[in-house]
Amino acid sequence: MTATYEIRLAGHLDDHWAATLGDLDLARLDDGTTTLTGPVVDQARLHGVLARVRDLGASLLTLRLVESPARPPLTRTLRTERLTLRPGTAADAEATWAYRRLDTVAAWLTEHPTDLEAYRSTFTDPERLAATVVVERDGTLVGDLMLRVEDAWAQSEVADRARRRQAELGWVLDPAYTGRGYATEAVRALLAHCFTDLGVRRVVATCFLANTTSWRLMERVGMRREGHAVADSLHRSGQWLDTVTYALLAPSE
Ligand SMILES: CC(C)(COP(=O)(O)OP(=O)(O)OC[C@H]1O[C@@H](n2cnc3c(N)ncnc32)[C@H](O)[C@@H]1OP(=O)(O)O)[C@@H](O)C(=O)NCCC(=O)NCCS
Q: What is the CATH number for 7?
A: 3.30.70
Q: How far apart are the CA of 169 and the centre of ligand 1, in A?
A: 15
Burial of 29 by CB count in 10 Å (0-12 exposed, 13-18 middle, 19+ buried)? exposed
Is 183 part of a structural domain of the chain? yes
Q: What is the CATH number for 208?
A: 3.40.630.30
Average pLDDT over residues 150-175: 94
What proportion of the chain, given as a percentage, has pLDDT over 90?
Answer: 72
Q: Do 86 and 196 reside in the same domain of the chain?
A: yes
Q: Do 121 and 231 reside in the same domain of the chain?
A: yes
Q: Do 197 and 102 reside in the same domain of the chain?
A: yes
Is 73 part of a structural domain of the chain? no
Maximum CA extent, the chain = 65
Question: CA–CA separation, 94 vs 91, rounded Å?
Answer: 7
Is 235 part of a structural domain of the chain? yes
CB count in 10 Å sphere of residue 247: 17
Pocket test for ligand 1, best of 81, 108, 213 (most atoms within 8 A of CB): 213
Tens-digit pLDDT profile for residues 125-146: 988 999 999 999 999 999 999 9
Q: Do 55 and 96 reside in the same domain of the chain?
A: no
Q: What is the pTM of this model?
A: 0.80
Q: Do 53 and 91 reside in the same domain of the chain?
A: no
Top pLDDT among 215 and 17 is at 215
Is 217 part of a structural domain of the chain? yes
Q: Do 101 and 59 reside in the same domain of the chain?
A: no
Q: Whose CA is nearest to atom 30 of ligand 1?
A: 179
What proportion of the chain, given as a percentage, has pLDDT over 70?
Answer: 96
Contact (Cβ atoms closer than 8 angstroms) between residue 78 and residue 190:
yes
Pocket test for ligand 1, best of 184, 208, 209, 235 (most atoms within 8 A of CB): 184
Pocket of ligand 1, beta carbon within 6 A: 105, 108-109, 170-173, 178-184, 207, 211, 213-214, 217
Q: Whose CA is nearest to atom 32 of ligand 1?
A: 179
Q: Do 56 and 176 reside in the same domain of the chain?
A: no
Is 152 part of a structural domain of the chain? yes
Is 72 part of a structural domain of the chain? no
Domain boundary among 33, 67, 101: 67
Question: CA–CA separation, 27 vs 18, rounded Å?
Answer: 10
- Indicate the number of domains in the chain: 2
Q: Whose CA is nearest to atom 15 of ligand 1?
A: 179
Q: How far is CA 119 from the centre of its chain?
A: 17
Is 238 part of a structural domain of the chain? yes
**pLDDT for position 220:** 98
Residue 2 pLDDT greater than 70, yes or no: no
Q: What is the DSSP string of 184-221?
A: HHHHHHHHHHHHHTS---EEEEEEETT-HHHHHHHHHT
Q: Do 174 and 242 reside in the same domain of the chain?
A: yes
Average pLDDT, the chain: 92
Domain boundary among 40, 67, 94: 67
Q: Do 63 and 140 reside in the same domain of the chain?
A: no
Lowest mean pLDDT among 4-8, 136-140, 149-153: 4-8
Q: Do 194 and 131 reside in the same domain of the chain?
A: yes
Is 7 part of a structural domain of the chain? yes
Q: Do 103 and 184 reside in the same domain of the chain?
A: yes
Q: Do 45 and 92 reside in the same domain of the chain?
A: no
Domain that holds residue 56: 3-67
Domain boundary among 46, 67, 88: 67
